Amino acid sequence: MSKRAALYLRVSTLDQNTDTQRYDLLQMAQQRGLSIVEEYVDHGISGARTRRPALDRMMADARRGRFDIVVVWAADRLARSTKHFLETLDELNRLGVEFASFREQLDTGGALGRAVVVIISAVAELERNLIVERVRAGLRRAKLEGRRIGRAPLEINRVALLRDRERGMSLKDLAKTYRISKASVCRVIKDAQTAVSKTLPQAASTSADNKELRPPITAA
């Protein structure tokens, strides 16, 4: 049974076409006996662009198991950077999808290709660990220097905001009046409601206890 193949093609400008890439990839697929199930083409997409509609759709289909191998004309057609290429190749490997490039003659289906995947996966994991460690080091330094970590608390008159809300002011008007986001207004109201709900059971319990301790009224 032939492997299901996905072709990915990309050109940087709208006046370019993918005919040359497509011809070479079709020849490559025919020589290897691959069955092409889909072509993903990004037109006029620079290599530096983070979002690529066709590439994003292809990766989504890879996660659904729609094909067994991704074939590209060159590695730089697939990824915007070395880091992005490593991450993409690492994800394809975890999904059990092979990768082959026409220009570099890289094929992760062979023994050498699998060795390359192992190396690439190790490099990708090392990069992720380095990023995590850099973030942790930055947080430690900020803490030692006494700098605030995380979001600063809202400096608003919460009592006045809640009073205006009780008077019927809309969330939009509250946000505009107090110069905060609508989400922040909702958070203040929710926090107040939560505090009230926690207080009410305690008040009811105290009232019940006092009632039990009150001496019974007897007829004179």
CATH architecture of 4-128: 3-Layer(aba) Sandwich (3.40)
Note the pLDDT tens digit of each residue in 44-90. Answer: 776 555 578 899 999 999 999 999 999 999 888 887 677 788 788 88
Note the pLDDT tens digit of each residue in 109-155. Answer: 777 777 776 776 676 667 767 888 888 888 888 778 777 666 666 67
**Model's pTM, two decimal places?**
0.53
Where does the chain hold its CATH 1.10.10 domain(s)?
A: 158-213
Which active-site residues does the annotation give? 12
Calculate the dihedral angle through the C-alpha atoms of 213, 214, 215, 217, rounding to the nearest 10 degrees. Answer: -150
Please tell me the predicted confidence (pLDDT) of residue 23: 94
Q: Which residue has the tokens 């490997």?
A: 93
Note the pLDDT tens digit of each residue in 27-42. Answer: 999 999 999 999 999 8
User: What CATH code is assigned to 158-213?
Assistant: 1.10.10
- Reference 40, options 7, 66, 63; nearest CA is 7
Where does the chain hold its CATH 3.40.50.1390 domain(s)?
A: 4-128
Rounded Cα distance between 187 and 192, Å, is: 9
The H helix count followed by the E strand count for the chain is 8, 5
